[in-house]
Amino acid sequence: MTPQAAGLPNSRPRAPRAAGASSADARTPERMRASRLARLDAMLLRGTRTELARDLAAIEESLGRVCAGCDGRIEEAARHVLLQGGKRARPMLTCVMLRALDHDPSSLMDVLTAVELAHAGSLLHDDIIDGAEMRRGRPAAHLVFDVSTAILAGDVLLTIAFERAAKAPPQLWTSLSTAVRDVCTGEALERERLFDVAADLDHARHVNRLKTAALFRYAAEAGAILAAADSEIVSAAQAYGTALGEAFQLADDLLDFCGDPASLGKPVGMDLASGCVTPPVAIALDRDPTLRESILELWRSEDGDEARIRAGLHMRMARLDAFTAARDLALECTAAAHAAIRRLPEGVWRNQLVVFADKIAEHARRANPGSN
């Protein structure tokens, strides 16, 4: 069913400002670095903290040089998204994979930050496509500047990402190309099925693997490629990154129903309201097809009715154990991540990769609104 056939809008509505979010840029680079380090520290083993804190500082230094000294609007918009926050999970994953394969990433920072540049560029484009107003608790770049500037800034970041990846073996450049193409394909597939209550779980998971897991896959694979690992280890890294990325997105899908807007930097409930059938919704629809009418009612509703309809949907989905089932899928993905890295050398750095997966599993458990 097309949006028009259902009497629905053809694109996502703009998200309202997140509660507690301020448009003022009160977060200094120093505070953001301290916040990232604090979040990272909670995920680190005692034997990895010193090296990874140093890696994070080197990542920030490398990213800080992107478009530095340029005073054009495009470069300013690029830095707006690149330096405004984020956990740096993807380049940090590359660092840990390198260390797990007995390689020091210190001399490779410009190359391994390509994944963060590609991620940031995709966020600029994604916010325009989605009509989002907030990104990481601040106004989206296309509102601070303008749509054309934000599009071009995203292009600039993607270009710099490929420039940096080109400094490494050709296999890395090819891998990044594949990942970026997957992100674009995932976005297109998602938009083809907006406001479509017939979209099933297979479709929702496929979109997640493309849009989110692709760059996690690349980040882990990049570590193996840069370490000159054999094909078996590269395949293990790919499998780990894919499973980790899908688990990460499943937890995020759950947070859209129960997260704190101030912590997330964006409103909750926007995915479904915007026409996206994410895995929890697809599971609920499969278990109770009569839910379709309630979802269509939400999509057709005026602002005054939306909260009431959403609350009713939330209650019905919880009764169907849809949230618990989505959480269990996330736990299956983290178990697959564990299995994938058994082929890596034993040691504290492989254990750190296990902890990354465990933290996402913990995140999914906490995010399960059906368990509250």
- What are the structural domain ranges in the chain? 29-371
Q: What is the pLDDT of residue 41?
A: 59
Tokens read off for 291: 């839910």
CATH number of 29-371: 1.10.600.10
**DSSP category for residue 342:** G
Output b/e per residue, 237-269; b: 16+ Cβ within 10 A. bbbbbbbbbbbbbbbbbbbbbbbebeebbbbbb
Residue appearing with tokens 């998971």: 205
pLDDT digits (tens, 9 = 90+) for 83-93: 877 789 999 99
**In 136-230, where does DSSP find H-type helix?**
141-144, 147-165, 170-192, 201-208, 214-226
Q: Does residue 108 have a pLDDT over 70? A: yes
Report the chain's terminal Cα–Cα distance, integer Å. 34
DSSP string, 162-181: HHHHTTS-HHHHHHHHHHHH
Is 186 within 8 Å of 217 (Cβ atoms)? no
pLDDT digits (tens, 9 = 90+) for 236-280: 999 999 999 999 999 999 998 887 766 666 667 789 989 999 999
Alpha carbons 281 and 276: distance in angstroms, whole number = 9
Longest alpha-carbon distance in the chain: 58
pLDDT digits (tens, 9 = 90+) for 196-225: 999 999 999 999 999 999 999 999 999 999
At 71, is the pLDDT very low, low, confident or very high (cuts 50, 70, 90)?
confident
- Work out the mean pLDDT of the chain and round it to a whole number: 88
> What is each CA distance from 310 to 34, 64, 82, 302, in whole angstroms?
37, 41, 33, 12
Q: What is the pLDDT of residue 20?
A: 39
Q: Does residue 9 have a pLDDT over 60? A: no
Is 111 within 8 Å of 83 (Cβ atoms)? no
pLDDT digits (tens, 9 = 90+) for 338-360: 999 999 999 999 999 999 999 99
Higher pLDDT, 3 or 242: 242
Query: Which range among 65-79, 152-166, 295-309, 356-370 has the greatest average pLDDT?
Result: 152-166
Question: Dihedral of CA 18/19/20/24: which sign?
Answer: positive
Average pLDDT over residues 50-73: 91
Q: Does residue 38 have a pLDDT over 80? A: no
SS3 of residue 138 by DSSP: strand
Entry pTM: 0.88
Q: What's the distance, CA 286 to chain centroid?
A: 26
Is 246 within 8 Å of 333 (Cβ atoms)? yes
